[in-house]
Amino acid sequence: MTATPEVDTNPSYEGTATILNPATGAVAGTVRWTDPADVTRIATGLRQAQRSWEARGAAGRAKVLARYAVWLGEHRDEIEALLIKETGKSAVDAAQEVPLLLMILSYYVRTMEKALAPEPRSASLPFLSIKKVTVHYRPRPVVGIIAPWNYPVANALMDAIGALAAGCAVLLKPSERTPLTAEVLMRGWIDSGAPEVLALAQGARAVSEAVIDVSDYIQFTGSSATGAKVAERAARRLVPVSLELGGKDPMLVLEDADVDLAAHAAVWGAFFNAGQTCVSVERVYVLEQVYDQFVDAVVRDVRKLKVGAGEGNAFGALIDESQVAVTERHVADALAKGAKALTGGSRTAGPGSFYPPTVLVDVDHSMLCMTEETFGPTLPIMKVRSVAEAVRLANDSPYGLSAAVFSKDLERANDVALQLDCGGVNINDVISNLMCTTAPMGGWKSSGIGARFGGPEGLRKYCRIETVVAPRTTVGAGGNYYNNSQRALKTMNTMMTKLALIRPKRMAK
């Protein structure tokens, strides 16, 4: 769920700051910024608390996380009300975040003990069977999470949950644009009786840099440009990173697709959360046989949408004026190069950082709306002559986060999906891979490194692997230590070579 780069201007670290609702300009709340010099002290406290947190074992940590899940469920209304005030979201969009977290929490509470259990490995050769080989998953002490603004609740905790479950302590740096909901999440952690292994560092770039400098692992969600800077800084200390970065997700509509379903999906996938979602549908390639029918259905659906924050609206405001400016620039560029706006196309009059849902046709890859991440409410639709052309254009991008393929022939759709260069593909649906908690979610190319939450990978990524090799018997112990006998050495090498080649020789026949 990627967001654009954080602003370069750092807040003042003295006193509190006022956060405004982007939909109304009203005060949403206040926050006290963290002095970057204090981040080391915070990390030291987390590092000390992490030892006992790890010692609880997976079963003990699961009980704590279960209590936190209950707290989140009981305080959902409070969290969503603050989300709307802080981000200008519609009530529909705000209602998606806590349930996603509860799904992730429920999955890990049920599976974390098995996923993190020591894993026995068999011997590779018969004569090594005298050894007992066990792989252990040991948590990294402090995980730094730098979260974006577009989903202040989900994007902060979906990563923190995995790290905490793995036995790590978490130092969370929310976006300086949306710091308020993180304070509520922190209060819930404390109120649910959890230990002090979760802490906040509030601020912008200077605080992010401090978090990178004191953490043992970094999870960053944001733009590709900022992600590169995060990785570069972490590399100074050889600290591993997981990056979920920008996306320009394509949707392919084949000639045998259910056109109405595809149109509904495209509209929701493009305009959910005002298009401020990393896996938004940002470009659509439609086979010419169904192009006109698809465009008509999309326009029909878009004209039913109501823009505004809170209850009764389809989607709310963009996060701020800088995000509106990106959308305006991409639309203006497309129109100047020959595209047509069938809906929207210019900013909504009135207060707040709103932009109407904009459907663009007659588009091509010379236009920014087809090549750069917009992260706003645009839906460019391009006519193509063949599936091969659609695949080629879909892959003609530096991004590779996710995609969608629509066809009534599921086997054919699956074949097309496996030709797309991205981390996840939805068939006859959009965005649903985010709800598949059993599978990791991550991007290819400039869309990221590694995977985020999901599956045992979402826990093990926060661990160091420790292999313990122990003897099963004392027979033969030390028999090959500096054996000076040339005959013994030749015999051992011959035996090892023959044993190692048994399976390759069988497979080669």
Per-residue pLDDT band for 8 (boundaries 50, 70, 90) equals very low
> For residue 122, what are its two tokens?
């068999």
User: Contact at 8 Å (CB) between 309 and 84?
Assistant: yes
Least confident of 127-136, 220-229, 327-336: 127-136
Q: Which of 236, 168, 114, 53 is nearest to 462 (CA)?
A: 168
Enclosing H/E stretch for 109: helix 97-115
Given the residues 80, 209, 244, 282, select the one marked as catalytic. 244
381-393 pLDDT tens trace:
999 999 999 999 9
CATH of 22-245+454-464, one of 3.40.50.2300, 3.40.605.10, 3.40.50.300, 3.40.50.970: 3.40.605.10
Percent of the chain scoring above 90 in pLDDT: 84
- Based on the number of CB atoms within 10 Å of its own CB, is 181 exposed (0-12), middle (13-18) or buried (19 or more)? buried
* Backbone φ, ψ for residue 358 (5° rounding): -120, 115
Look at the pTM and tell me if it is higher than 0.75. Answer: yes
Bridge-based pairing of strands 378-384 and 283-287 is: parallel
β-bridge mates for residue 471, sequence order: 131
Given a cut of 80, is residue 476 above it in pLDDT? Answer: no
Place of tokens 């926060």: 462
Least confident of 70-84, 168-182, 472-486: 472-486
CATH topology of domain 249-432: Aldehyde Dehydrogenase; Chain A, domain 2 (3.40.309)
Task: Name the packing angle between helices 76-87 and 57-74 (round to 10°).
Answer: 70
Per-residue pLDDT band for 350 (boundaries 50, 70, 90) equals confident
278 is catalytic: yes
Per-residue pLDDT band for 129 (boundaries 50, 70, 90) equals confident
| Segments making up each domain of the chain, as ranges | 22-245+454-464, 249-432
β-bridge mates for residue 199, sequence order: 171
Given the residues 168, 278, 369, 422, select the one marked as catalytic. 278
Given a cut of 70, is residue 86 above it in pLDDT? Answer: yes
Helix (H, G, I), strand (E, B) or coil at 383: strand
